Amino acid sequence: MASTSPGLLSALSWPSCQKPSSFAPRLLKNAKPRLGFASPLAGVGYPVSPGHTLIIARRPVTRFQELTGTEKARLLVWIDWTQEHLAANLSPAPDGFNLGLNDGPAAGQTMPQLHFHVIPRYNGDVPDPRGGIRHVIPGKARYWQ
């Protein structure tokens, strides 16, 4: 894992034992805000799992296509950094990750500021994880049946 955080982003995460309303989000250790994106924030209001992290654009931007080419490239660097950080610091370490964003109201975006989710996943956290993000539209996830 890289010893320093990439520039342009920010990340937060909630301890699994506390409710989001009981404390403020915290920056991930060694995450240093830089030009373009805030530092990854581990502090999602409604975490899906321990370590659920948001990477948030620093400037006002609602949609992915509003990012510059440089910002899009840095977003990928931050996604990689955040996964490595969570894998090295969560116990137990995640068995996988869901990565994504809701781009526009039709896609479920409720916060009008671009943010990218890094969601740690664990074997057994759901009975059958196949289909992953395809579950956003009921009836479309089980494409293998």
Is 117 an annotated catalytic residue?
no
* Active-site residue (options: 52, 85, 115, 117): 115
Return d(Cα 83, Cα 88) in angstroms, integer.
9
* Amino acid (one-letter) located at 51: G
Task: Write down the residue that tokens 């293998």 correspond to.
Answer: 144
Respond yes or no on whether the N-terminal peptide bond of residue 92 is cis (omega within 30° of 0): yes
Active site positions, annotated: 115
